[in-house]
Structure 1
Amino acid sequence: MQIRDLPYTDPGRPDVRSGPRFLLWLGSNQLGGQIKAALWGTLHMAAVAFFPAAVGVAVQAVSDRSGARLALAGGLMALIGILMTLGDTMLHRVSVSNWILASARVQQLLARKTAQLGSTLTRQVAAGEVVAVSTGDVEKIGWFVEAFSRFTAALITTVAVCVALIVYEPRIGWLLAVGVPVLTLAVLPLLPRATRRADEQRDKAGRATELATDTVAGLRVLRGIGGEDLFLSRYRRASQEVRRAAVRSARMWALIAAVQVALPGLLLIGVVWYGVGLARDGHISVGELVTVYGTVTFLLFPLRQFEEIAMAYSFSRPSAQRAARVLALERVTDPGGREPERGGPGPDGERLTGDLYDPASGLRAPAGELTAVVCGDPDAAGRLAERLGGHSTQDSAAASARLGGVALDEVPLDAARAAVLVQDKDPVLLSGTLAELLDVPASGNVPAETALAAAQCGDVLTALAQASADDSGDPMRTRITERGRSLSGGQRQRLALARSLVTDPEVLVLDEPTSAVDSHTEARIAEGLRSLREGRTTVVFSSSPLLLDRADRVVFVRDGAVAAVGAHRELLRTDPAYRAVVTRETDDEPDPVPAAELDDELTRLNENEQIEESA
């Protein structure tokens, strides 16, 4: 696998039982790249290790006044230098490729899991944690994968050098063979504390990031109530906690680095002292002493790789644990415990169509009709809307919604998403141009211009054209900021509605699509929605009389079950509970508005709307 071949056709099925198991699975899927990096690393480090031997030959040649051996030593050093350069270059190339490939695999796994879970993901895990896993944690996991191959090369080279020294000079070789493992293991008692401090720093940084994100998202509201200073002080305290935690973590890692420098330095002094004594007594030559000194100096280099792999594992293990926790999440399975496979349109490949029915509440939306649903509890309405789309809910025992008699959780996920589209009451607009916003998977039967007109986006297009960065005046080329924060709530709702209409699904479920627009615009949207979706199944959750009056049928849901079904004006006259929800009556209002007066007022609003449209 090369970087140019990304993305993966199939990133695989990860082992998510624990963080270490996930890292092991990730490494096993890149075994070829790990082996190549280890081989190139071994070549590089072996060349570095044998360079002192060439220098020792040169020193001994000068001592013996041998020009031939000096020339041979020069050629040997040049060859070793070429091997060092080649090995280092290829090691960096392959190890960084391993890093990128591992990060890309984890990101694809996270993207696939996010698509599978849909809106239920944020109910099982915080959105901030998903962002942290897909950014910072992915980088730390990739770092460990990249560092592991260099650690393997360092380990192989260190063992080989110690064996060579035992053969070359047994007395010094055995001293190093015992001393190097002791130095390597000397920092192990410090790693648990360093890991805990690093985890504490990441947790505090995550909370500070979450606080900053919430503050930015609610900045307009904070300014309205004068709460900027309060939240600024909170973020300042959180930021200082992150700084103190980072300093504590840095101190521990600095101590580990100091130990990794001090102990090998002491070993080097002891070996050189012992070697000088051997050379003075004539047991070894000056060239051999230089060779031993250079080789011992080289061993300080792989020891730094041991320190890095310890640090990389300490940082990547909790990151891998968080990634495994997110990847282990599952959507609700069918009663038989089988999760739907991804694939064709339906159980037998046919297109899903027919009445939409929710067994838990008894709600039925006839095919091809506009059904309005009135629910006094907004949270219950949101859960019902998601259940109609085949999304798992907090109530996992509730039976899945059925479309044309087929349970949505028993069909392939792609088929369920293509057949039923649910627009949340707080839809998200991604950053990009308006053309990119409306470039979504669609049937092709509803042009963007038609959808924008039905959603009454004329004034939005005018505002976008005026704000266009170029001179074209084309609103479709105007960039929309993240989550549409540069737009008003009503403008965001209408653009989101237009995006849903462009998709043109078999069933469209809208949760409070006009709660932020004025009554005149709402009336026109209701008419445009009814006209554009004629012959298609549409379910609208709303308590607005203007929308309810244009629905083919109205379903009143109370305490999680259907309480009444009929036309809006009929329910106003016959059902006091329905009238109380629609008119916002309270127990403190002893004289509610008569249903006849409500009918007259609704008729007057419709007539005024028709007059305005004619004008």
Structure 2
Amino acid sequence: MSQLTGGRVLRRALREQAGRITGSAVLSTGHQAGEALVPVVIGVVVDRAVGTGSPEALLLWIGVLALVFTTLSFSFRFGARLGERAAEQAGHRLRVRVTERVLDPRGGADTGRLPGALASIATGDAGRVGMVALVLPLGVAAIAGLAVGAVALLRVSLPLGLLVLLGTPLMMLLAHLLGRPLQRRSEEEQERAAHAAGLAADLVGGLRVLKGIGAERAAAERYRLSSRAALTATLHAAGAKARHDGTLLAVNGLFLALVALLGGRLAADGDISIGALVAAVGMAQYLTGPLSLMVWVNGELAQGRGSAGRIAEVLNSPPAVGGDAELPGPVKGQVTVHGLTHAGLDGLDLDVPAGAFVGIVATDPAHADALVACLSREREPARGTVTLDGLDLSGVDPDAVRGALLVAAHDADLFEGSLRADIDPAGAVRAGTDPAGAVRPSTDPAAAQGGRADSGPRTRPDGPRVPAPREGAGHTDRLARALAASAADEVAAALPGGLDGLVGERGRTLSGGQRQRVALARALATDPPVLVLHEPTTAVDAVTESRIAQGVRRLREGRTTVVITTSPALLSTADTVHLVEGGAVTASGTHEQLVREHAAYRAAVLA
């Protein structure tokens, strides 16, 4: 597939709104034509009614003038409505396309871009491109108005008509040439503004961390420099727009003065009538409208082209990972890593049997992050493979992989809304609630301890995706079991409204430990065949951490679970623990064995 360009993005957006744009152009042309006819009709009134003293002719042409005003008013109203609708729809569709690319399971759109920058592109740039759908019909109408004016002037006087017909193309060429610097400045302005917005969003999101390490001043200075660069780019863009608009308006004024001067000279020589002079002067005044409109349209087109180029860059982002095959079922859950080399990992080999509970300790946190990125299919390794039940995942649809092998990152975000919606965003899990929204206590002792609520054997998943379970006792208690295992039931109990209580943006109304427990509950409630947890308890106290370790172990009994952590509480519950040093596995055993036999393990886990 060929690369998208800004021009192609812009043309597609306009094609999708072709009907509305055409309707708006037709109606707007009617409005401009009506405006152009007003001075012509007034000139006729002067010559045929006022000059002759005929009341009948006066009433007739006043009626014609009223009809012209009615038509142009109707055309303006409905033409503007269609144009605004086209602009909003075009901007909306572009926002959806950018959002879909950002959320594509293959990733890649966020590479080298801050989240705030992507948000700026999806909102500001999409809106600017959408505006082209509004201004394009107005530009067509302005040209049509100039054409009507030129024809009217040709009927009044050949020299006047030729002046307008020859001068207008030159004005349009000048507008195009002056719009090029504005387009470049607009692109830079949007780029700088997006970077500053993204940096501000990141700083606000990490404010607690910045305060904790005393880095507020450094962060503020970094934002100040970015904001200053954005301000400079904005001032340059504003200067370019001022020069663009000012130059064109000055040239327009000179052009119109020339038209009026020539018309006055012809009237003085008796070559045209008084009514024709009135029409010519009125037409010269009218021409300021479409010419000024063309100045505005050209500026919007320049900015729209720049924004379309930025959108094309996002849509052209190469995917971080590939694969389109489906996972065959049933998923047993055996995970094998062979020769994995990526971001510090050097030929890492790892085998996780189906149904095992395995711990991984990385002496370098960067190596843990690299392993998480490969297991979650966020990045392709330089070398090596990750297989699930013997199938190389590099050729499998990343979305299908994540339905069977869920990686819960330690920095998972929460969403604004109810606690229930954060834990169960897809609505696949339902828990019973009392009118206040609190979780009903389970009657099963195992569920109260974070284990299974059903006493019979559990059916293993029969495909790569876990289907929405049927409503029933086992299903309605799943959320309660996940809450108990993650100790998030305490969060629900403390929150006004319980599970239906509101959580602020990114869960900022909760403490760090509460957010971690809610994120862990969400991962457990999903109940995937393979679950990878990355440092799920770094912000909770020791007593709660111990409860979580036992609860997760019981809840995940018989299903593959990998915990990448340095938590002794979690590692002590694992069947096997692997120590990763220098990017490779250097030792394996139980937590107790590794504590006794390996100094590096003790330093990583007990320090």
The TM-score normalised by the length of structure 2 is 0.83
Q: Kindly tell me: are residues 113 and 398 of structure 1, through their superposed partners in 2, closer, same or farther at Cα, counting changes over 3 Å?
A: farther
1:303-331 deviations in whole A, cap 9, x for unaligned?
Answer: 22321232113222232222111111232
Q: Kindly tell me: are residues 229 and 129 of structure 1, through their superposed partners in 2, closer, same or farther at Cα, counting changes over 3 Å?
A: closer
Indicate the residue corresponding to 1:191 in structure 2.
Answer: 179
User: For 1:95, which of 72, 83, 92 is the aligned residue?
Assistant: 83
Indicate the residue corresponding to 1:144 in structure 2.
Answer: 132
- Identity level (%): 35
Q: What is the distance in 1 between the residues matched to 2:276 and 2:566?
A: 92
State how 1:588-603 maps to structure 2 within 5 Å.
Answer: none
Q: Which amino acid aligns with 2:405?
A: V
Indicate the residue corresponding to 1:523 in structure 2.
Answer: 546
1:209 aligns with 2:197: yes
Indicate the residue corresponding to 1:358 in structure 2.
Answer: 337
User: For 2:479, which of 423, 444, 448 is the aligned residue?
Assistant: 448
1:118, CA displacement in angstroms? 6.3
1:229, CA displacement in angstroms? 5.6
User: For 2:374, which of 370, 387, 406 is the aligned residue?
Assistant: 387
Indicate the residue corresponding to 1:131 in structure 2.
Answer: 119
Q: Kindly tell me: are residues 127 and 212 of structure 1, through their superposed partners in 2, closer, same or farther at Cα, counting changes over 3 Å?
A: closer
Give the secondary-structure state (helix, strand or coil) at the position aligned to 1:186. Answer: helix
Q: Which amino acid aligns with 2:309?
A: Q
1:179, CA displacement in angstroms? 1.7
RMSD of aligned C-alpha atoms?
Answer: 2.7
Q: Which amino acid aligns with 2:592?
A: R
Q: What is the distance in 1 between the residues matched to 2:222 and 2:507?
A: 26
1:31 aligns with 2:18: yes
Indicate the residue corresponding to 1:258 in structure 2.
Answer: 246
User: For 1:404, which of 389, 403, 408 is the aligned residue?
Assistant: 389
1:159, CA displacement in angstroms? 3.2
Q: Which amino acid aligns with 2:292?
A: R
1:376 aligns with 2:363: yes
Q: What is the distance in 1 between the residues matched to 2:211 and 2:585?
A: 42
8 A Cα contact 2:117 2:195, kept in partner:
no
1:433 aligns with 2:418: yes
Q: What is the distance in 2 between the residues matched to 1:182 and 1:254?
A: 20
User: For 2:324, which of 333, 340, 350 is the aligned residue?
Assistant: 340
Indicate the residue corresponding to 1:58 in structure 2.
Answer: 45
Give the secondary-structure state (helix, strand or coil) at the position aligned to 1:88. Answer: helix
Q: What is the distance in 2 between the residues matched to 1:509 and 1:464?
A: 28
1:121-166 deviations in whole A, cap 9, x for unaligned?
Answer: 4344332321211121111111123212221232233234324533
Q: Kindly tell me: are residues 497 and 562 of structure 1, through their superposed partners in 2, closer, same or farther at Cα, counting changes over 3 Å?
A: same
Q: Which amino acid aligns with 1:357?
A: T
Q: Kindly tell me: are residues 558 and 332 of structure 1, through their superposed partners in 2, closer, same or farther at Cα, counting changes over 3 Å?
A: same
Q: Which amino acid aligns with 2:407?
A: V
State how 1:478-517 maps to structure 2 within 5 Å.
Answer: 478-517=501-540
8 A Cα contact 1:431 1:481, kept in partner:
yes
1:300, CA displacement in angstroms? 1.9
1:44 aligns with 2:44: no
8 A Cα contact 1:340 1:409, kept in partner:
no
Structure 2: gaps of 5 or more residues: 341-347, 429-467, 470-474
Q: Which amino acid aligns with 1:183?
A: M
8 A Cα contact 2:529 2:559, kept in partner:
yes
Q: What is the distance in 1 between the residues matched to 2:367 and 2:583?
A: 7
1:237, CA displacement in angstroms? 6.0
1:251, CA displacement in angstroms? 3.4
1:292 aligns with 2:277: no
Give the secondary-structure state (helix, strand or coil) at the position aligned to 1:517. Answer: coil
Q: What is the distance in 2 between the residues matched to 1:398 and 1:127?
A: 29
Indicate the residue corresponding to 1:464 in structure 2.
Answer: 495
Q: What is the distance in 2 between the residues matched to 1:309 and 1:351?
A: 59
Q: Kindly tell me: are residues 181 and 66 of structure 1, through their superposed partners in 2, closer, same or farther at Cα, counting changes over 3 Å?
A: same
8 A Cα contact 1:432 1:479, kept in partner:
yes
Give the secondary-structure state (helix, strand or coil) at the position aligned to 1:535. Answer: coil
Indicate the residue corresponding to 1:18 in structure 2.
Answer: 5
1:326 aligns with 2:314: yes
1:444-501 deviations in whole A, cap 9, x for unaligned?
Answer: 4463332111111243234322xxxxxxxx2223222222223222111111101111
Q: Which amino acid aligns with 2:591?
A: H
Q: What is the distance in 1 between the residues matched to 2:65 and 2:247?
A: 32
Aligned residues: 552
Q: Which amino acid aligns with 2:479?
A: A
